[in-house]
Structures are given as structure tokens and as C-alpha cells.
Copies of this chain bind each other. A is one copy, B any other.
Amino acid sequence: MNDMIKMLFDHRSIRSFQDIALSDDQIEWIVKSAQAASTSSFVQAYSIIGIKDRNKKAELARLAGNQAYVAKNGHFFVFCLDLHRLQMAAQMEEIQEVDIEESLSSTELYTVGVIDAALAAQNAAIAAESMGLGICYIGGLRNHLYEVSSLLKIPDYVVPLFGLCVGYIDYRTDKKQRLPMEAIYHEEEYMSDGKMCTYLRDYNQDMVAYYKQRTAGKKKDSWTQMMAKMLVHPKRLYLKKFLSEKKLPLQ
């Protein structure tokens, strides 16, 4: 195992940062690392918005569900799916919006943009970690996309997908144990339900033991219990409507 893989294995989300701003060089390395990731057919269908302004960060922290580390960190990045740039490219080539609407509103191009944004974000995360910084993804930005969108002046065809806190680590949490490799990795074809079930039961035992030790017996949920609880309360059902209003009806 080489040093890079060791670093990847050692990843954990950091939720407590020192109040030290990243330098412009650090920001540039992170963003350029993001850009170096693969992109589908060279579309580069994402944008990154960097937030330094303390009031704006505080507001985003509130919108993300009062997550203090969205306000206090070295830098806050918002990763967006961006088809607006593509629409502008077409406009510069004198193509009417109506002639590209079918593409822009397709589930395919939405999927491409989400993948592009996530590949870029993961490169950004790794670049930050390679500099000894900590990171935390913030899916909570999707709790209030209308407000986030208005705060960041997000145009049509653009969707803030998630945030990324980066900063000097104040407190380093434990690593959470992932599903056993066997439950994620299938050979030649998708595995049988029987096999999957066995792996999930093993994992449940491991997770119960982990939480028992970590929370002094307070948290006892197994992974399947946590997932079942989550699924019975659907989240962010307004997303479909928000996307339609951003001209992305996912057709």
C-alpha cells in the first residue's frame, strides 16, 4: 500500500476547524485539482462558488441545519451542477435556447452534471487532505435550495448540490467503518439477495459494537435500523419542483 492510498484510507469528515483562512494559493490548488478530474465529453458541467464572507457563511450554516462548521472553517466551497455555461456556449454560437432545451432538460444531462461536480469535488477534497487540511461535505445545503440559490445569485440551469468545508483541523473524529467490501463489490454480476443479507447482518454486528464503544452504550442502532428509520421519513421532496423552476424538469 502506497502513501496516497494510506491517505485515502485515513479519511474522515472533520466537523471542528480552527478559525484560520486558507491562503489564495491553497484555494487555487484545491480548485485546479478539482478541475483536473475527468469530465464527461469535456462538458465540465459544474461550478464552484467560494465563500469567505462571514455573514454569508453564517447564513449558509443556518440554512444547512445549524451546522456550526459551515460558518467556522478555512474556506467554504459550494459545488453546483452547471448547465448555464453550456447554454451560454450555445448562445455564443447563435443557437436558440429552444433548440437545446431537450438536451438541457434531460435526466441524462442532469446525471452528467451531478457526476462531473462530484468527481471534481472529490479531487478538491483529496487535494485539501494532502495539504494536511480537513474536509466535510455538506448535503444539508439541499435543505433550503431556494434561499441558498437567492443568496448566491444562482441562475437558471444551475443547482447548488452540496458544500465542502475545508480548514485546519481543530478536532479529529474517528473513522467510521464502511460496509464490508463484499457488500459493495460484486463479481461479474449483481450478487444474490441472500449473499447481500449475510453481509449486512455481519456489518450490523460490527456497527453496534462500534457505536456501543464510541457512545458509551448510548447509541445502539445497527446500520439497517439507521437506514430503515431514514427511509420512512422522505427528505427534500421539493427538489423536483426546485429543479423544474431552474428549467431542469428532468425529462
Contact = CB atoms under 8 A, between A and B. Distances in A.
Contacts of A183: 85
A1 B23 CA distance: 13
B38 A137 contact: yes
Interface in A64-105: 80, 85-90, 92-93, 95, 99-100, 102-104
A239 interface: yes
A89 B176 CA distance: 18
Contacts of A136: 38
Copies of this chain assembled into the complex: 2
Contacts of A193: 88
Nearest to A88: B196
A227 B90 contact: yes
Interface residues of A, number: 119
Interface of A: 1-5, 7-11, 13, 28-29, 31-44, 46-53, 56, 80, 85-90, 92-93, 95, 99-100, 102-104, 106-109, 111-112, 114-115, 117-119, 121-123, 125-127, 130-131, 135-137, 139, 142, 151-155, 158, 161-162, 176, 178-179, 181, 183-190, 193, 196-197, 200-201, 223-228, 230-237, 239-240, 243, 250-251
Given A10-B36, A49-B187, A100-B231, 18 more contacts: A4-B126, A35-B179, A38-B135, A44-B178, A49-B189, A50-B185, A50-B186, A52-B188, A56-B188, A85-B183, A90-B227, A92-B201, A92-B228, A95-B231, A103-B234, A107-B250, A111-B161, A118-B119
28 contacts: A1-B29, A2-B130, A8-B127, A38-B135, A40-B139, A42-B176, A42-B226, A44-B179, A50-B186, A52-B187, A88-B196, A89-B200, A90-B232, A95-B232, A103-B232, A103-B233, A103-B235, A108-B234, A108-B235, A108-B237, A111-B114, A115-B139, A118-B119, A122-B123, A123-B126, A152-B190, A153-B189, A237-B251
